[in-house]
Structure 1
Amino acid sequence: MIKRIIFFITALVSIQAFSQRSSSSPYSIFGVGDEFGTRTVEQISMGGVGAAYSSSQYLNFINPAALSELRYATYVFGLLHNDLRVKDADTNQSSATTSLSYFSFGVPISKNAGIIAGLQPTSAVGYSLINNLVDGDGNIVDITAFTGDGAVNRLYGGIGAKLFKGFSLGVEVDFLFGNITNNVSNRRQNVALGTKNVEDSRIRGGSIKIGAQYKTQIKEDIDLTVGAAVKLSNRLRAKGEEYLYSFTQGSLGGEIPRDTLSATSLRGNLERPLETVVGIGVGKQNKWYAAVDYQFQDALMPSGYLNESAQSLRYGNSSRVSLGGFYLPKFNSISSYWQRVTYRAGFKYAKTGLLVNGIPSGNTFTAVDDFGISFGLGLPLGNRVSNVNVGFEYGKRGSTENGLLQENYLNLRLSLSLNDLWFRKRQID
């Protein structure tokens, strides 16, 4: 009962926390923001593998077929602290954000099936860029500031079931929603009024994911699992308003709106082609596991106002390779706590699909790639089933070529996984 109360309180807090989520990446200026993968802290600590991963006590956000192995009612939520250093050819800047990254719960409904539901962000906007023009004497004569914030979240539910020995199938449905605001303000020397353009949009959409896993024993106590999941093509719709108005600077630095110069409606779509992830894993139950995943998707297709950055952005095909696993010395050890700790590690290499033209006067698009290494610990709580999971991830995204920005990031992730047995038969001594 205490675990259920804790999860309920966390869920209420999470709804407010999601609405305040922010990103500090300059690349979140494009499209619907900086997109996140749907992975748990445990999976990210193993490089992000999950297509062929299943567990009796951990949830799998990549492949819904893994729910067939769930044996405990599982409540989870995750936190993310991101330290980001952004640099170009001449300067660098640091920032940090802390946010709630997901909460979810899964319940076994039979010995061969389980269900899941939850809420998590899929992308976030949170950039702040300034462009200054100077005269021949080095004095600033024109300041343009680009800022944005907002997020797109998904509310989802899924089910997975074992259809026959070794083979499981699952399906997941989600509803995506959020709000994004983009601002461009300009002030010029010796001009009393500045101007500000505001794009305020509402994002809606949905998607369906289908997954499958097949597990077989290749040696005594050694299991081989292959898995795949496909997210069907879907569309994000954006609707909103665009305003252009003049303003003056207040005595305390704030803006005081004056006159509305124009107001128009915004419409846009983001077509997402079929996304596929396949994987293979091998391991010994409650001892060790190693896996590799490959994920790929054709280029996203924006239209309407979401395609207005076409001169500086193009979408290309995206892909990701993940490799990782875990080691558990002795899950039922009585003499040593650290032998009951799960040790995880992995790495990833991803082509994000972003092709950016960093020099306005040029026409050269450079791919934004992402490489990261990760490791983590699964720290058992008193009943040896529930866990606190800690993960660390260090990586690099982008480069300083072609006038672009390079991001070096350090992510600290924390999750709490509360497990309990439901539907236990009463026993009478």
Structure 2
Amino acid sequence: MVKKIVLLILCLTAIASYSQSGNGTVSPYSFGGIGDFRPQTTIENQAMGGLSMYTDSIHVNLNNPAAYGKLRLVTYTAGGGHKEVKLKDFTDKESSSVTTLEYIALAFPISPKFGIGFGVLPYTAVGYNVFSQTTNVTQDTVVNQFTGDGGLNKLFLSAGYEITKNLHVGATVNYSFGNIEYQSVQSIEGVQYGTINIRESEISGYDFNYGATYTPRIKNKYTLFSSVTVNTQANLVSSNTERLGSFSLSTGEEIEVRDVNLEPSNLRNTELKIPTRTTFGLGLGRDKKWFIGAEYSLQAVSSFRNDFIDPENIAYEDANTLRVGGYYVPDYASFTSYLKRITYRAGARTSKTGLIVNDTSIHDFGITFGLGLPVGGGFSNMNIGFEYGKRGTTVANLIEETYFKVSVGLSFNDKWFQKRKIN
């Protein structure tokens, strides 16, 4: 057991270092707020449209801590994904891709009614490179380049408890941390030097996630799934720096780039408040056979502000997301057909992201499907998920993203804290 804990700690350290150094997005829309919010669910949940309401005794649930009260086996889980993205506006098209680790976690039961879990996962990601070209009053070409890099990671500790039969509650404490760098460069035709502005934020802070599930039996054959989660306002502190100066267009060498004193404008340290998100879920299923459900989330993003990074063409509005999905298992106990033991998942989601660019609301839509492949003779499994979606629009001089994502997750089960028996 000690070896397994040490191995997990090493993995947590490795993924935190990896996710800090790489981009988790290539979206131009990641320049808003504190970047793109990454999925906070496992691959098996993502394949059902992102539903987090479904809970059982052998899988980790990253978004609903009440699920840990159901655990009966120790579970190690990790996941990663590869996304192909096509960007287009009225005149141009461009393709890009990104590969990321998405989470790693360990969960285990302490008693038949109480379980805990902990892990690390990316929280937000910034990764964009946008050009704009205009002419000035003397008809010279002015080129502006805006780039962003970085993001936040999240360490979490969760606990869930069974209050009475079929009623579970739980809580999670999250610690978010990371760095984001924003850079803008401007050059003018015929001018030897360009201007450069570099802004960097080191961000950290806490938030909490509370969840409850109620899963009564119906006619001893079906289960009604109902859930509610409340992710409280994240109170983040951003320590900021800014450098401003010029550079040589021929060599790229910085010239007279100086630190900006942010104290007079009260921007040296700023607060970022990510509004509370509330999610309600309802579904119906038959144990180890099928499940179908829906979730609705709402978040008052209109109250968000980032005083240090405040582009003129960006505003915020209240966000919401609707998810539907489910799974089907032909025969989980089949000895003759492996295909019958596979879990087949599918779903869809649609969301108003809360981001307004050029007075246009940014929406996101995706369809998902996936497979849960049994591994070995126990309850361990490998989960493969696929997602196709669109975000944004080509109107109002904006960009439309079309993406296809392939994800793979591993979920291994074990038994701890059991006394050895001698026959």
Name the structure 1 match of 2:123. Answer: 122
- Compute the displacement of 1:4 (Å): 5.9
Match of 1:89, SS state, is coil
Q: CA RMSD in A?
A: 2.1
1:373 to 325, 347, 367: 367
Name the structure 1 match of 2:420. Answer: 426
Aligned: 1:263 with 2:260: yes
Name the structure 1 match of 2:161. Answer: 161
Match of 2:421, SS state, is coil
Name the structure 2 match of 1:175. Answer: 175
Structure 1: stretches of 5+ with no match in the other structure: 358-364
Q: Deviations over 1:73-114 (max 9, x none)?
A: 111111011111111122111100101111111111111111
Match of 1:264, SS state, is coil
Name the structure 1 match of 2:55. Answer: 54
Name the structure 2 match of 1:293. Answer: 295
Give, as a single letter, the amino acid of the residue that structure 2 aligns with 1:344: R
Name the structure 2 match of 1:81. Answer: 82
Give, as a single letter, the amino acid of the residue that structure 1 aligns with 2:227: G
- Compute the displacement of 1:66 (Å): 1.0
Q: Deviations over 1:54-73 (max 9, x none)?
A: 11111112211111111111
Give the alignment of 1:59-70 within 5 angstroms.
59-70=60-71
Give, as a single letter, the amino acid of the residue that structure 2 aligns with 1:263: V
Aligned CA distance change for structure 1 residues 268 and 126 (closer, same or farther; 3 Å) = same
Contact 2:345 2:369 in 1 (8 A): yes
Structure 1 residues 40-49 or 273-282, which shifts more? 273-282
Name the structure 2 match of 1:210. Answer: 210
- Matches of 1:140 and 1:391 in 2, distance apart? 50
- Matches of 2:134 and 2:351 in 1, distance apart? 36
Give, as a single letter, the amino acid of the residue that structure 2 aligns with 1:332: A
Give, as a single letter, the amino acid of the residue that structure 2 aligns with 1:50: S
Aligned CA distance change for structure 1 residues 421 and 335 (closer, same or farther; 3 Å) = same
Contact 1:271 1:300 in 2 (8 A): no
- Matches of 1:302 and 1:340 in 2, distance apart? 46
- Matches of 1:415 and 1:327 in 2, distance apart? 18
Give, as a single letter, the amino acid of the residue that structure 2 aligns with 1:323: V
- Matches of 2:248 and 2:337 in 1, distance apart? 66
Name the structure 2 match of 1:361. Answer: none
Name the structure 1 match of 2:46. Answer: 44
Match of 1:305, SS state, is coil
Name the structure 1 match of 2:330. Answer: 329
Aligned CA distance change for structure 1 residues 345 and 97 (closer, same or farther; 3 Å) = same
Match of 2:301, SS state, is coil
Name the structure 2 match of 1:21. Answer: 22
Aligned CA distance change for structure 1 residues 304 and 417 (closer, same or farther; 3 Å) = closer
Q: Deviations over 1:109-160 (max 9, x none)?
A: 1111110111111111000011123599xx9732211111001111110100
- Matches of 2:6 and 2:306 in 1, distance apart? 45
Name the structure 2 match of 1:405. Answer: 399
Name the structure 1 match of 2:186. Answer: 186
Structure 1 residues 369-378 or 16-25, which shifts more? 16-25
Structure 1 length as normaliser, TM-score?
Answer: 0.92
Q: How many residues align?
A: 416
Aligned CA distance change for structure 1 residues 385 and 140 (closer, same or farther; 3 Å) = farther
Q: Deviations over 1:373-410 (max 9, x none)?
A: 00001111113311111100001111112222111111
Sequence identity of aligned pairs in percent? 35
Structure 2: stretches of 5+ with no match in the other structure: none
Match of 2:102, SS state, is strand
- Matches of 2:340 and 2:231 in 1, distance apart? 38
Q: Deviations over 1:189-218 (max 9, x none)?
A: 222222110001111111011111111111
Contact 1:272 1:300 in 2 (8 A): no
2:280 to 263, 267, 278: 278
Aligned CA distance change for structure 1 residues 135 and 243 (closer, same or farther; 3 Å) = closer
Name the structure 1 match of 2:114. Answer: 113
Aligned CA distance change for structure 1 residues 90 and 176 (closer, same or farther; 3 Å) = same
Structure 2 length as normaliser, TM-score?
Answer: 0.93
- Matches of 1:135 and 1:258 in 2, distance apart? 24
Contact 1:64 1:160 in 2 (8 A): yes
- Compute the displacement of 1:303 (Å): 4.1
Name the structure 2 match of 1:385. Answer: 379
Contact 2:32 2:355 in 1 (8 A): no
